[in-house]
Amino acid sequence: MSEPSNEHDHTQAERGRNAAERKRQDGDATRHRVEKRRVEAEMSRAKAEKSRVLAEEAREARERSRHELEGSRQDREALREAAEEARRAAEEARHATIGAVAATAEALNANLAQMQFIEHARQTLRALWPKPEDTH
C-alpha cells in the first residue's frame, strides 16, 4: 500500500509543482505588465516634463516679445512726440519767417520811399539851380 500512497504523494507533489509553476508564471506575467506600465508611465512623465519645459520656454519667449513690443511702442510714442514738437517748431519758424519777410518788405518799402524822396529832391534842386551854361 505504500506504493499507491507514494504514487498519490508523487501526483500531489507534481500538482503542487505545476500549481507553483503557474503561479510563478502568473507572477512573472504580472511583473512584466507592471514593468511595462512603469516604463510607459516614465515615458509619459518624461513627455509631460518636456511639454512643461517647452511651455515654459514659449511663455518666456512671449514675455520677451511683449517687452520688446512695449519698448517699440514707447519708441514710436517718443518719435511721435518728437515729430509733433518738430511740427510745432516748424510752424513757429514759418510764422517767424513770415514776420521777417513782412519786416524786410516794410524796410525795403521805406528805403524805396526814402530813395524816391531823395531823387525828387535832387531833381527839384537841379531844376532850381542854374546850369553852368546859363551863367555865361
pLDDT tens digits, residue range 21-53?
999 999 999 999 999 999 999 999 999 999 999
What 3-state DSSP class applies to 45?
A: helix
Look at the chain and count its residues.
136
* C-alpha angle 58-64-66 in degrees, rounded to nearest 5: 100
Q: Which regions in the chain score pLDDT beneath 70?
A: 1-3, 134-136
